[in-house]
Structure 1
Amino acid sequence: GMADLQMLSGEQRYMTQLEVKLIKQSSPIILSGNITKQLGKKIAFSVSLNNLLKDAAFLSALLEKKIDDNLRQYSLEGETHLPGVLGVHAVALLQQHEGLWSHGLRIKYGLLGEAKTPCHECSTQQKVQVEMSARGLYRLELGHEFHCVQAPTYSHQVHLKHEVSTSWISSQMEVNYGKHWDEINNRKKLLISQAFKNSSSSSVVSYFMELTMQILEKQVNYRTQLQHLYTSQVYLQSSTNFEVQYNDHVPFMAGLQWKDASRNGLKKWEGGFNIDTPWLSLYTAHKLHQPQHSVYLLTSELTAGKALSIEDLVLELFYKDQGNEKEGKVHIYTPATTYLQASTVNHLGRNVLHSHSEIISLWNQLVKNEIHLENNERAKLLCFKIKSTKQEFNFTASYQNLPTPKKTNFSVKIVWRDYKSLPVILQCEGQIKELRKEKMLYQKRATLHFRHPFKVPFLQSFLLQETFTVDKKQKHYFMETKVLINGVEETVQTLILGYQPENPYICAGLTHPYNYRMFPKDVEMCILT
């Protein structure tokens, strides 16, 4: 073996060699190495092996650095050879010039029988540039290329540009690929860009966003835009729009608008929404106005097309609130058809409620409804009436308490009218009345009367009357009960209780119109002591 170290013109050279001879007549196996180093500039080394393989095997590399005021450069070159297996030659370069970084790599290689004369070649390049201007503009640019001579399908080129300022952001990326990646008219190309812009001020908020994508080979052109505007200069107003474009068609579009023009505490709001797709188009508009502090008017419009067809459908709501009087209206219509029209007026007084409503629709004629309610200490009343052009329903319930003479009345009445026939009346009335109130005589009567129009074999009408008498002069209690069925069948029952100290007694009597052999029509029975 042998080793040698030399110093020449600032370079350090170190050489070593090792020889091995296995048989006297054979050539020796030689392994040698060489390292050359120049401080701060370059370093090179090589290793070779002779007389072991068919040809010499070797590995070498050179790393060099150059630096001046504006440029920094690093280069690397290497080569290796394994006979019959692999042959590679590579050159790489990395340099920086102010804000620009660039890198390149080229490789030639051969495998097996091509190891001695490499004929396959691939190369790649990268570039990064960063700039910052005095106005605050930040700019970034990236570049990338990859190319193989024997495999052009995988060759491609990518270029990215990104810029940021105080009011906008934008990015563009271009990708070329395929066999003709480096030609101007290459059709295998992908283009993607996005932008964001902020145009806001003290009284205006404005944003704009856009994303685009193009694939030339597939004839794909896609664009998406979003725009938002809000202003408070004259009145509050907002607008937002979103749109999708695909190959010069607009498959989706939506918009939202809103405005507040309220003044002096009176509301005035307006808004709209629209959407358009291949399956459905929809437009709605809404308005809320307050012409007076007690009056509200709401209007909504709806138009739809394609899968659902609605043309100029309008909803109007009206509400008025003036203390004890409240009024409301509903109107749903199109220019050709009225679907629903309704109104109600309500008056609320002291212990009194009166309501009047009307409704007409596409499915029914005019219907009127009236409700009257009174709630006083001595009288209570509920009246409910609903009326159409052909029929009428009326329900009335009342209660009355009179102090002089002391009397309580109540009644329930139901009336159903069909103008083709006689009215149907269902009625129930009752009364409790104090007939006499004297020192020696007290008398009170209760009456219940019920009748209905339905034809049944029993109980068409029913009258029940009970009279209770206290006679202190005669010293007895007297109870009389009368029952009148269907206006002709009267039954009277009496009960007398005498409370004289010397001879108390009880008497009961019954008079009825029915014919029973075992039970007389007139019966009276007394028990004396």
Structure 2
Amino acid sequence: GMTDLQMLSGKQRYMTQLEVKLIKQSRPIILSGNITKQLGKKIAFSVSLNNLLKDAAFLSAFLEKTGDDKLRQYSLEGETYLPGVLGVHVIGLLQQREDLWSHGLKIKYGLLGEEKNLHHECSMRQKIKVETGARGVYKLDTGHEFHCSQAPTYNHKVHLRHEASASWLSSQMEVNYGKHWDEINNKKKLLISQAFKNSSSSSLVNYFMEFTMQVLEKQVNYRTQLQHSHNSQVYLQSSTSFEVRYNDHVPFVAGLQWKDASRNGLKKWEGGLNIDTPWLYLYAALKRHQPQHSAYLLTMELTTGKALSIKDLVVELFYKDQGNEMEGKVHIYTPATTYLQASTFNHLGRNILHSYSEMTSLWNRLVKNEIHLENNERTKFLCFKIKSTKQEFNFTASYQNLPMPKKTNFSVKTVWRDYKSLPVVLQFEGQIEELKKEKMLYQKRGTLHFRHPFEVPILQSFLLQETFTVDKKQKHYFLETKVLINGVEETVQTLTLGYHPENPYICAGLTHPYNDKLFPKDVEICILT
């Protein structure tokens, strides 16, 4: 082996050589290499291998740095040879000129028997330029090319431009590919761009965004835009729109707007949403209005088309609360049809509730409903009424206690009325009444009355009345019981108790309208002492 280090005219050279003999009569296998370096500028090295393969194998490279204050340049050249396998020649260049960086690389190669004839060639180039303007505008310009003679499918060229500042941003990218990738009229081209703009101020927020893509070979032209603004100068309002374009079609559009014009504690808000696609069109609006501090009005509008068709559907909700009075309304309609219209009015006073409601819809005619409720110390009353154009249902329950004259009434009554026939009445009533209250005479009467219209084998009408009398002048107690069945069959039973000290007695009497074969129709029995 041998090594050598030399210094000549500022160049530093280092060389080494190694010789190996595996067998005494064989050719020696020689591995040698050298490195030459010029301080700070050039480096060259080579490695060779002899007598191992059919030809000598070698690897060499040369790197050089040149430049001044405006230009810096790095160059690289290399060569590799493996007999029967590979032959490669590489040339590379890297430059910097102020804000511009550029790079180029060319490779020639041969494979498997063609290693000495370098028929294949691939090249690649890049450039990057970065600038920052006086107003803070950042600019980036970059390009990339790749070409290979044996693989034209992968040939391409890319150019990207990007600019940005405090209020806007813009990017464009162009990609050329295919067989004619480096021609001006190349059809295989992809164009992509995006933009963002912010034009906001102290009282205005405004954004705009756009993205586009074109594929010339496929005749594809795609664009998306988004715009948003929010203004608070006079009153709060906001608007947002989103649009998608594909070639000459607009497959998707959406917009959202709202405004808040509330003043003096009264709410006033309205907003709208619209969406348009090839399958569905939708428009919806919402308004919330407070005409008074105690009243609220909510209006919703809806229109759809294409897959689902609804035209100008309006829903109105109204609510008013004034403490003891509450009012509500619901109205669902279109210009051609009323689907639902309903209203309710409720009055709540001291120990009283009155509610009145109306409803009409596409499926039924006008229906009225009324509820009246009283809860006083001496009077209790409940009335529930529902009425349509053909039928009516009424339920009433009451309780009353009167001090003078002392009387207690209670009743439950249900009425079902169909205007094609007689009303159906189900009634239950009761009364306890003090008829007389004197020094020598006291009389009290109680009554129960029940009736129904159903044709069943039991009584339809039943009246029970009992009268109790205390007569101190006649010195007797008297109890009279009357029973009236179905309004015609009256039965009277009497019981008299005399408490005169000299001759007390008991008398009982019965009068009935039934067959007298079993029992007399009119009979009285007395026991005297």
Query: Do both share a fold (TM > 0.5)?
Result: yes
Cα distance in 2 for partners of 1:232, 1:160 equals: 39
Once the 2 structures are TM-superposed, how far is the Cα of residue 375 of structure 1 from its aligned partner?
Answer: 2.2
Show the counterpart of 2:117. Answer: 117
Show the counterpart of 1:387. Answer: 387
Residues 279-428 of structure 1 aligned to structure 2 (within 5 Å): 279-428=279-428
Show the counterpart of 1:458. Answer: 458
Task: Name the amino acid aligned to 2:39.
Answer: L
Show the counterpart of 2:91. Answer: 91
- Worse overlay, 42-51 or 501-510: 501-510
Task: Determine what percentage of the aligned residue pairs are the same residue.
Answer: 85
Once the 2 structures are TM-superposed, how far is the Cα of residue 430 of structure 1 from its aligned partner?
Answer: 0.9
Show the counterpart of 2:227. Answer: 227
Q: Are the structure 2 counterparts of residues 107 and 497 from structure 1 closer, same or farther at C-alpha, using a change threshold of 3 Å?
A: farther
Show the counterpart of 1:267. Answer: 267
Task: Name the amino acid aligned to 2:237.
Answer: Q
Cα distance in 2 for partners of 1:430, 1:131 equals: 103
Task: Give the superposed CA RMSD.
Answer: 3.3
Cα distance in 1 for partners of 2:111, 2:528 equals: 144
Deviations 1:268-315 (A, max 9, x none): 322211111111111122333334444444333222111111222223
Q: Are the structure 2 counterparts of residues 476 and 91 from structure 1 closer, same or farther at C-alpha, using a change threshold of 3 Å?
A: farther
Secondary structure of 2:422 counterpart: coil
Cα distance in 2 for partners of 1:343, 1:157 equals: 72
Q: Are the structure 2 counterparts of residues 527 and 255 from structure 1 closer, same or farther at C-alpha, using a change threshold of 3 Å?
A: farther
Task: Name the amino acid aligned to 1:32.
Answer: S
Residues 129-144 of structure 1 aligned to structure 2 (within 5 Å): 129-144=129-144
Cα distance in 2 for partners of 1:493, 1:46 equals: 144
Is 1:64 the counterpart of 2:71? The answer is no
Residues 428-447 of structure 1 aligned to structure 2 (within 5 Å): 428-437=428-437, 443-447=443-447
Secondary structure of 2:113 counterpart: helix
- Worse overlay, 477-486 or 141-150: 477-486
Q: Are the structure 2 counterparts of residues 197 and 518 from structure 1 closer, same or farther at C-alpha, using a change threshold of 3 Å?
A: same
- Worse overlay, 335-344 or 229-238: 335-344
Cα distance in 2 for partners of 1:481, 1:91 equals: 133
Show the counterpart of 1:191. Answer: 191
- Worse overlay, 438-447 or 273-282: 438-447
Q: TM-score, normalised by structure 2?
A: 0.89
Cα distance in 2 for partners of 1:522, 1:129 equals: 131
Once the 2 structures are TM-superposed, how far is the Cα of residue 443 of structure 1 from its aligned partner?
Answer: 4.9
Show the counterpart of 2:51. Answer: 51
- Worse overlay, 488-497 or 275-284: 488-497
Cα distance in 2 for partners of 1:106, 1:507 equals: 142
- Worse overlay, 464-473 or 51-60: 464-473
- Worse overlay, 428-437 or 17-26: 17-26
Task: Name the amino acid aligned to 1:122.
Answer: C
Show the counterpart of 1:216. Answer: 216
Task: Name the amino acid aligned to 2:206.
Answer: S
- Worse overlay, 400-409 or 89-98: 89-98
Q: Are the structure 2 counterparts of residues 399 and 24 from structure 1 closer, same or farther at C-alpha, using a change threshold of 3 Å?
A: closer
- Worse overlay, 163-172 or 341-350: 341-350
Once the 2 structures are TM-superposed, how far is the Cα of residue 240 of structure 1 from its aligned partner?
Answer: 0.8
Task: Name the amino acid aligned to 1:60.
Answer: S
- Worse overlay, 127-136 or 436-445: 436-445
- Worse overlay, 330-339 or 278-287: 330-339
Secondary structure of 1:335 counterpart: coil
Residues 508-527 of structure 1 aligned to structure 2 (within 5 Å): 514=514
Task: Name the amino acid aligned to 1:44.
Answer: A
Cα distance in 1 for partners of 2:108, 2:502 equals: 148
- Worse overlay, 263-272 or 8-17: 263-272
Cα distance in 2 for partners of 1:310, 1:461 equals: 56
Once the 2 structures are TM-superposed, how far is the Cα of residue 348 of structure 1 from its aligned partner?
Answer: 3.2
Show the counterpart of 1:487. Answer: 487
Note the residue ranges of structure 2 that are not aligned, 5 or more in a row.
none
- Worse overlay, 358-367 or 516-525: 516-525
Secondary structure of 1:114 counterpart: coil
Show the counterpart of 1:152. Answer: 152
Secondary structure of 1:404 counterpart: coil
**Number of positions where the alignment pairs a residue of Structure 1 with one of Structure 2:** 529
Cα distance in 2 for partners of 1:353, 1:152 equals: 90
Cα distance in 1 for partners of 2:77, 2:106 equals: 10
Cα distance in 2 for partners of 1:274, 1:143 equals: 42
Task: Name the amino acid aligned to 2:193.
Answer: S
- Worse overlay, 261-270 or 290-299: 290-299
Q: TM-score, normalised by structure 1?
A: 0.89
Once the 2 structures are TM-superposed, how far is the Cα of residue 10 of structure 1 from its aligned partner?
Answer: 0.9
Once the 2 structures are TM-superposed, how far is the Cα of residue 444 of structure 1 from its aligned partner?
Answer: 3.9
Once the 2 structures are TM-superposed, how far is the Cα of residue 358 of structure 1 from its aligned partner?
Answer: 2.8
Residues 195-206 of structure 1 aligned to structure 2 (within 5 Å): 195-206=195-206
Cα distance in 2 for partners of 1:433, 1:159 equals: 108
Note the residue ranges of structure 1 that are not aligned, 5 or more in a row.
none
Cα distance in 2 for partners of 1:466, 1:140 equals: 110
